Structures are given as C-alpha cells and as structure tokens.
Amino acid sequence: VRIMVLLLIFSLALSGTVFCAPQGNSRIKSGVYLPVEKDTAYKPEVDLLVPEEEWSNELRQDRQVCRCGTLGGSKIVGGSYVPKGQIPWQVGLGSGTIGSFRLFCGGSLVSDKYVITAAHCVQNSDLHVKVLLGDVLLSSQTSQVVEVNMIQRHESYNSRTLQNDIAVMTLAASVRFSRNVFPVCLPRQLTTETFVGQKMVASGWGTTREGSLVKSTSLNSVVVTGISNEQCNSDYPNKITSGMLCAREAGRDTCQGDSGGPLTYTSSSVTYLVGVVSWGIGCGRPAQPGVYIRVTKYLKWIDTKTGGPLCSK
C-alpha cells in the first residue's frame, strides 16, 4: 500500500498541494485533495439514509439505543480480503459517486452521523469529502455515498510530527444501521489497556505491498500485534508520544491509502476502535512498526466534538 517518495512529491506538486509528514511516511495516497463535484443524480435510499429533519419518532428512539461493535463476520485472517458485512464500521473517504468512487483515505463510523479519521487526511481546509459505506468494493453499485458537512481536526494537530493526528467528521445525513453499516465502539472500558502483545485488526483499501502503484479495489484487513511505546521509540527515536500506539507483524501492515482507517480490538465479542491509521516507514518491515493514534487518549476530545459520549458497548 505504498508509493515511492519521489512519486508522492511529484504528484502533490502537480496538484499544487504541499503535504508534510515525518520523513514523508504518512499512510495517505498521493494526490489526495480531490474536489467533489455536486452529485445531483444520487438520491440515498430512504431506509439507510435519513435527513435529520425527516426522522420519525421510531428512528429517534432507535438512535438513542446504544448499539455498537457487535456485528461482523467470523474471525479475520491477516492480509485477507474482507467479506461484505465483516467490518461494517469501515468507511472510505474520497469523491465521486456510487460505482466510481475515488478514495484517498479511510475512516470509522462511530455513530449514525459521526466518522473518525486522521487529521492529515483532511488537513486541506478547502477539501470537500464524501464517505463510502455499506460495501467492501469501491466499484459496488450497492454501496452508499454520503456527503460530509463538517470536519473538526484536533486543535493541536502537527502536520510535521503527526501528533494529535485525529479528526471527527459529521455526515450530512444520518445512516440507519444494517448488517453492512454499523458503528464500532469507543474504548471507554479499555483506558488502562496498553495493548502490548494484543492482536488487533487494521483494514483499508490502500495498496497491498510496499512500492506498489496499484491500490486495492476491495477492502483488506491485517492482524497486527501491539508493542510498547518504549520499543516503538527505539525504532523511531524521539517520534512516539503517549497519544500514539504502535503495532507490527512481519510482512503485514497498513500502507498508503489506509490512512484514517480503523485499528480495532475485540474483547468479549465486542469490537472497539483503539487506533487510527497514521504513519510508518515502509510496509511490514520487521523493525518499522505501524503507528496509530491511540484513541483512548482522545475520548474526552471526541466527546466535545460530538456533543456528548457516544456508544461504547
């Protein structure tokens, strides 16, 4: 899921975009800032997307029921193609319409109207974003594409060091949950967990090997193992903060195009969003772990941006 640095710089230069990251290794595709044309032809299906002003009393009541992280399929095998419905909280960020969606990052659905992603995915203030959800294929005719009407990046986000690399996006229409569209839980019960030695799942549509120029058209997942921040700091001297989480698995990793997507941990059959794909060097290199934003450190910040605690169990 990687693009060579020279190609990244060249692509960004052509687009007139300047993007800074630690050693050019954030996990975002080149040419990411795509203007979104107004799609007047697309009309969301009423049973999945409901404008807030048209909510029924039944839907208002359903929305207040705490449901998250309990759908999905069987155990995920690292580096594998993801069947439809297995990671129903995964969304893609990009532009375009159903069947021709152009993706540049990933994200995680955490409620019927909020998505969490990486700040570096949406650092361009002129960026207009849509999200793709409900399917694992970018070309699917059954997916849903919803516009984003608000992006809130962390106020202390640093584009050079990628500290506080997190953002909350508000969808223009609320989504109704189904087996293919379902939120992941926030990790309120895991605030003391270090995740060292724990198996976690990362997913995205990024390229599938280092140096590849071809992105995946289907959603893929990988199982990685958490390591301590002390160990990660020895791999990346003076770059790892308490707000970051590191994980590795030889030959398995996230790469360009996966930025902003979920790193999840499952406990007692409930899946929690514990990380946001942020940066790393290479793909799957034994001494170069992937670096994620540690969501447990940002729960209060997320609450302030979403107007209150979201579902966590």
Task: Name, in order, each residue with C-beta under 8 angstroms of 101's C-beta and a sequence gap of 6 or more.
Answer: 92, 94, 95, 130, 132, 138, 139, 143, 145
128 has catalytic annotation: no
Looking at residue 49, the DSSP 8-state letter turns out to be E
120 has catalytic annotation: yes
* Alpha helices, DSSP H, located in 24-173: 57-63
For the chain, give the longest Cα–Cα distance.
54
Cα distance between residue 210 and residue 232, in whole Å: 20
Catalytically annotated residue among 120, 135, 143, 258: 120
Catalytically annotated residue among 108, 174, 203, 259: 259
- With residues binned 3-state (H G I as helix, E B as strand, rest as coil), the percentages for the chain, rounded to 5, are 15, 30, 55
Cα distance between residue 109 and residue 311, in whole Å: 11
Catalytically annotated residue among 112, 135, 165, 258: 165
Cα distance between residue 145 and residue 99, in whole Å: 10
- Residue for token pair 């690399």: 165
Residue positions annotated with a catalytic role: 120, 165, 259
